[in-house]
Amino acid sequence: MKHTSSRRGRRLVAIIAGLAAASVALSGCLYSLIPESKPSSTTSLAPDTDGVSADLLPFYEQTLSWSECGGFECTTVTAPLDWNDPGAGDIELSVIRQRAVSGEAIGSLLTNPGGPGASGVGLIRDSIDFAVGSALQEQFDVIGFDPRGVGESTAVRCYDAADMDAYLFDIPADPRGTEGWTAERTQWNADFADACEANSDGILPFITTEFAARDMDLMRAVLGDKQLNYLGYSYGTFLGATYAKLYPERVGRLVLDGAIDPTVSGVDVSTTQAIGFESALRAYMTDCLGTSDCPFSGTVDQGMADLGTVLASVEQSPLPAADGRLLGADSLLTGIIAALYAEESWPYLTIALADVLQGDPEVAFQLADFYYSRENGAYLDNSTEAFRAYNCMDYPDDITDEAQAAGDAEIAAQAPTVAPYWSGPDSCENWPYPPTGTRGVITADGAAPIVVVGTTNDPATPYEWSVALADQLASGVLITRVGEGHTGYNKGNACVDAAVEAYLLQGTVPEDGLRCE
């Protein structure tokens, strides 16, 4: 599960569902913003092949064929399966484009919504106004793409809907923390990994952020851009920073919003996120207690204690839903986390918790389903499967028992509400391939200024990660959004929006340390 943790350090939690998943209010408005007709063309600029090696020229020289797709233009880009052995096979990358509304594009702006595993094609197709402000749409060809392994690109495949339901929502027979509980969870993870290997046509060892960043350079080139202009959210910041590490000379204007610190280990990710969600939950509780429909009362500490009692209650006696699923503590916590991504979603959390107190789990399951991109019993994308594939390859399995124990102790001390439900067997322990990723400082020496946006009480990518990334990057510039929720641009803060858009459009570098209240 995305927000649960591993015992061996690769606690691959909810970074991570990014903008395309849980950072919007749960009102359905995300899918109502499909634009009307836009200027279109079936041609692109000549590919940029400067400095490309001979074995990669067949990929960098390809000409794109665009077709109309619901008011946008769509195409596929052919990329090497293995960037270290370009002759070993191909994969397809799904790309969507909205042409500059002005009709005179200053270039392409690639976007990524996060995950890893969120669909960039879906983000642009279904909610471009949420992803990118109108000023950027006016002057850029806005590009969305599904990274390798994701969505409409050559994709990771694991389970059908019924098996995914069982994997995500079933409750082990033995009590949490017992040997039987651990053994059953471990077997579930092993079965899931086996299914991914069986159904993904050999692509699993090549689903890495490094290769996805190399794909992004290929897309830049075949779109005809000499440098990459990019707006990446959440996990998309790690993708963008990795690109800058690999190709600093090709960095144009990069904005990394809701950053991941590339130095943090799996156990540090888990620890920091647990504390971040606890902090966001306390902010929610503060707000809830000031409303007339809040199901809690008293002080914030009392409300949090009562919420802990609710989680313990459904852990002990899960609530049956109309579709036959049982709401236990894991599923309820997933629903809580989904609502914490955006302050606008807090009213839905209040309804869900009030209903759970009355024995009704339906709204809580709606929140959990939203988190997993599940609708009417079907999964709308493969984000859960791609999430696992990327993280099992990106995070080295090198955490000591001492570091794990220290992380557990810190979570217990600073995140007592979520702590009982945060730990579990390593979800990557039985992954069929060893990880190839590393964790370390990214400086991207020689890159143009890279703007990093951090939100002070971001629960999924805590603010200190944005500070750390901006400090690491030789050309990093930090913008701080003071507020709640995940990411900062295009969230109603005029100060952040103006600074980001001035940089992407005019190249005006924001003041380092700009603080937007």
Please report how the helices 209-222 and 383-394 are oriented relative to each other, as an axis angle in degrees rounded to 10.
110
Which residue shows structure tokens 């603080």?
Answer: 515
Which residue shows structure tokens 């996990």?
Answer: 235
Q: What is the largest CA-CA distance in the chain?
A: 69
Return the DSSP state at 498: H
Q: Which of 44, 268, 408, 486 is catalytic?
A: 486
Q: Residue type at 484?
A: E
Q: Which of 234, 331, 345, 423 is catalytic?
A: 234
Q: Which of 458, 466, 475, 497 is catalytic?
A: 458
DSSP 209-255: HHHHHHHHHHHHHHTT-SSEEEEEETHHHHHHHHHHHH-GGGEEEEE
- For 129, other C-beta atoms within 10 Å of its C-beta total 15
Angle among Cα 202, 207, 208 to the nearest 5 degrees reads: 150
458 is catalytic: yes
- Kindly state the tokens that stand for 487: 């990411």
Strand ranges, E, within 458-496: 476-484
CB within 8 A of 109, min separation 6: which ones? 132, 136, 140, 141, 142, 143, 229, 230, 231, 504
Q: How far apart are CA 8 and CA 395, in angstroms?
A: 11
Distance in angstroms between the alpha carbons of the first and the last residue of the chain: 34
Whether residue 26 contacts residue 367, with contact meaning beta carbons closer than 8 Å, is answered with yes
Q: Residue type at 438?
A: T
Whether residue 58 contacts residue 52, with contact meaning beta carbons closer than 8 Å, is answered with no
Residue 419's region, left for phi above 0, alpha for psi from -120 to 50, else beta, is alpha
In a 10 Å sphere around its CB, with 0-12 CB exposed, 13-18 middle and 19+ buried, how is residue 517 labelled?
exposed
C-alpha to C-alpha distances, 277 to 181, 218, 263, 355, 485, nearest whole angstrom: 25, 36, 21, 22, 10
Three-state secondary structure along 354-369? HHHHCCCCHHHHHHHH
C-alpha to C-alpha distances, 334 to 3, 273, 352, nearest whole angstrom: 7, 13, 12
DSSP 277-319: HHHHHHHHHHHHTTSTT-S--S-HHHHHHHHHHHHHHHHHSPE
Q: How far apart are CA 432 and CA 257, in angstroms?
A: 32
234 is catalytic: yes
Angle among Cα 74, 151, 118 to the nearest 5 degrees reads: 105
At 97, give phi and psi (nearest 5°).
-135, 135
Whether residue 149 contacts residue 389, with contact meaning beta carbons closer than 8 Å, is answered with yes
Whether residue 14 contacts residue 2, with contact meaning beta carbons closer than 8 Å, is answered with yes
Which residues participate in catalysis according to the annotation?
234, 458, 486
